[in-house]
Amino acid sequence: MLATLSKLYILLILVISPILTLFSLFGLLTFYPISFVVIGFGLFLLLCIMFTALYRGNIRVSLDDYLILASFVWFFVIIILHSNLYSYTEDGRYISALRYYSPFFIISLCCYFIFKKGYDFFRTRVGLYSLILMYSGLAVITILFFDSQSFKIDFSKLIDPSFVGVYQIVSDSLAFTVICMLSLSRTSKTLKIVIILSTLFFLLILNARSGLIGFLLALCFIFNVKKVVSEKPIFIIVGLLIALISLVILIPDIEFISSFFENYNSRIYNIFSGNFSDDASFLGRMKLLLHSLSIIGEHPFLGSFGSQAETDIDGFGVRWGAYTHNIFVYWDQFGIIGFAFIVFVILTSWYNNKKLKRTAGIDLFALIVLVLSQQLFLKSFTYFYLFAMAGLIEGAKYVSKHNYNHQKLK
């Protein structure tokens, strides 16, 4: 029962919540508190998992579970100690640190244990049908709000411009879901190619630079490029020759495409051109990073929680959201202890995957690449996928170990 409910939660947080949020912000649905549903259902399941384990008396707590629990105890202690600190949200609300930070960490904590319980969601048809549901929702948005002139969804038509970052919610969910599907499901190569092309298209029109970069990096490990090059070099050589010939033939069209993105979609163009000098998003992130590094330099042990609450760091106003968008956010907000916990989570996930590949033939390294490409360089503590990944790998490890021991008993 708990495994089924866990899969339902995974469907909710990865597919239903992002799509309904997107629909509501475009005015297609009446806005409703989907975040409260995600948090409430997650806490309910977390409590159910704990009470079931206590009732049955067969508590299986791994070292990773203790590590996760200890890290969240630290995070919540820091948050509670600064609960009297207030600042503004992106939509202008003046709220406390407890109210702003708690939902993100509650969701992350729930994701670890729920993804651990329902990890085989991606190995069944349910996972594939869920992905089709997400594609269908994105197709509707594309039909209604696609701007052919800039080749992207027109987010200027959102009913509340302060939520323009919704594209990140959708793109993060899409990339994570697809990489999990490609790594765990037993789908044909043809279907996998269709899924990859569809995902690349939607990431492109969502204007999601970070999601697109992370997804492309992860794909290199889905297809095991190193193995292909070593075992079938002739295919690589022929492929490169065909690509080179095609490039020469299509140079005028390529120049047209480049000019098109430079004029109408500079966010995507800047990825390939490397021109970030007039990119407001990039420049703002650099200011946040420099502020974070200065905080770490001044307070290397304890950090300075909520240092952005009263300072306009990046020129976009005083707000809670003005924290650095990379892994250093844990250091400047929660000190070196909080940062060390995150590093341990990453290292144990890598080790568990290595062990999982050796014992069960399951390799989630592509997922690790995706998540780390985001968490290390582009995302903050709001990126719950780091803990979802850790839980997923831990769940797969536990099931594979159980199956291995069961076979030995036979």
**Taking a C-beta distance cutoff of 8 angstroms, is the pair 314, 287 a contact?**
yes
Would you state the structure tokens that stand for residue 165, as one six-digit string? Answer: 């970052």
| pLDDT value at residue 42 | 94
| pLDDT value at residue 407 | 41
| pLDDT value at residue 409 | 32
| pLDDT value at residue 233 | 60
Host domain of residue 287: 2-409
Phi, psi angles (nearest 5°) of residue 145? -130, 15
| pLDDT value at residue 377 | 84
Rounded to whole angstroms, how far apart are CA atoms 370 and 364? 10
Beta bridge partners of 147: 152
Rounded to whole angstroms, how far apart are CA atoms 357 and 349? 12
Q: How many domains does the chain have?
A: 1
| pLDDT value at residue 391 | 95
Mean pLDDT by 10 residues, the chain (410 residues): 91 94 89 82 91 71 88 96 91 91 95 93 91 96 90 88 85 96 88 93 89 91 64 59 55 48 51 57 80 91 90 85 90 95 95 90 93 90 94 85 44
Would you state the structure tokens that stand for residue 373, as one six-digit string? Answer: 């490409």
